C-alpha cells in the first residue's frame, strides 16, 4: 500500500518502489491515485489484503505520521467484524506488516534529544498497536532519512537494500 501526495515527483519513494515493482508476487496499490477523493473501495481493498501474506505501508513521513490518503485507507478498510472484533474471521492474523517510509530530516534528528525529540520508532507506536490488535506481526521498518540530500546513487543503493530486505526467504523445514 503506497500513498504519496507528491506522486512521481518523490525521487526517494520512486527509487524504493522501482526496486521491488518488477518482483513476482508484488502488488503495488497507489492509494493516492486510486482514491483521489479519499473514498476507498473497501471491498476491493479488503480482497487485496486477504490475498497478501506480507503487507507494506509505504509513504513519506508528513508531520510525524502518514499522509492523509494512507490514514483514510486504514480508517475505512480496517472495519470491525472483518479486521477485528466479534464476528471477525481474523483474516489478517499471521500476516506481517512493515512500514517503509522516508523523511526529510536526518536519523540524528529522530533521536531523544534530537531536533524532533523522539526516536523514529516511537512514531510508529500506533501502527505497532494496530498490528497487534489485528493479530499481525509488525516487522522491522525500513526508514530512509534525509532524502533531500541523497544522490541518485544513494537512492539506488537504498533501493537495493530495500529489495534485499523484502526478498522472499525460503522456508526451512526439518
Q: What are the DSSP calls for 57-79, one per residue?
A: EEEE-BTTB--HHHHHHHHHHS-
Q: What Rg value do the Cα atoms of the chain yield, rounded?
A: 16
Mean pLDDT of 108-122: 96
Instruction: Tell me whether residue 171 is in a domain.
Output: no
Mean pLDDT of 82-89: 86
pTM for this one?
A: 0.92
Q: How far apart are CA 98 and CA 119, in angstroms?
A: 17
pLDDT band at 18 (very low <50, low <70, confident <90, very high): very high
pLDDT band at 169 (very low <50, low <70, confident <90, very high): low
Instruction: Tell me whether residue 2 is in a domain.
Output: no
Mean pLDDT of 112-129: 97
Model pLDDT for residues 40-63, shown as the tens digit of each residue:
999 999 999 999 999 999 999 999
Instruction: Tell me whether residue 172 is in a domain.
Output: no
Task: Say if residues 1 and 70 touch (Cβ distance below 8 Å).
Answer: yes
For the chain, how many structural domains are there in total?
Answer: 1
Instruction: Tell me whether residue 82 is in a domain.
Output: yes
Q: Provide the residue range defining the domain that includes 75.
A: 7-166
Q: Looking at the predicted structure, is the pLDDT value of residue 170 above 90? A: no
Q: Which cell numbers hold the place of 6? A: 507528491
Percent of the chain with pLDDT over 90: 84
Q: Report which of 144, 127, 149 is spatially closest to residue 16, judged by C-alpha positions.
A: 144
Q: How far apart are CA 92 and CA 164, in angstroms?
A: 24
Helix (H, G, I), strand (E, B) or coil at 161: helix
pLDDT reported for residue 171: 54
Instruction: Tell me whether residue 174 is in a domain.
Output: no
Instruction: Tell me whether residue 46 is in a domain.
Output: yes
pLDDT reported for residue 88: 81
Question: What average pLDDT is seen over the chain?
Answer: 93
pLDDT reported for residue 72: 97
Q: Which cell numbers hold the place of 83? A: 479486521
pLDDT reported for residue 86: 85
How far, in Å, are 110, 119, 126, 161, 167 from residue 54 at the CA level? 27, 25, 19, 18, 11
Q: Please report, for the domain that includes residue 120, its CATH number.
A: 3.40.50.360
pLDDT reported for residue 8: 80
Amino acid at each position: 500500500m503506497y500513498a504519496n501526495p507528491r506522486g512521481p515527483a518523490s525521487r526517494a519513494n520512486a527509487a524504493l518502489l522501482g526496486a521491488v515493482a518488477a518482483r513476482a508476487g508484488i502488488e503495488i496499490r497507489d492509494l493516492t491515485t486510486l482514491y483521489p477523493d479519499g473514498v476507498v473501495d473497501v471491498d476491493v481493498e479488503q480482497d487485496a489484503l486477504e490475498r497478501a501474506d506480507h503487507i507494506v505501508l509505504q509513504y513519506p513521513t508528513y508531520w510525524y505520521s502518514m499522509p492523509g490518503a494512507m490514514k483514510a485507507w486504514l480508517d475505512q478498510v480496517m472495519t470491525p467484524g472483518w479486521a477485528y472484533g466479534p464476528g471477525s474471521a481474523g483474516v489478517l492474523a499471521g500476516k506481517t506488516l512493515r512500514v517503509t517510509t522516508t523523511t526529510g530530516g536526518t536519523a540524528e534528528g529522530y533521536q531523544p534529544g534530537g531536533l524532533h525529540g523522539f526516536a523514529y520508532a516511537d512514531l510508529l507506536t500506533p501502527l505497532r498497536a494496530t498490528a497487534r490488535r489485528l493479530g499481525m506481526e509488525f516487522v522491522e521498518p525500513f526508514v530512509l532519512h534525509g532524502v533531500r540530500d541523497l544522490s541518485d546513487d544513494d537512492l539506488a543503493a537504498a533501493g537495493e537494500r530495500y529489495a534485499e530486505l523484502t526478498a522472499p526467504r525460503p522456508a526451512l523445514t526439518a
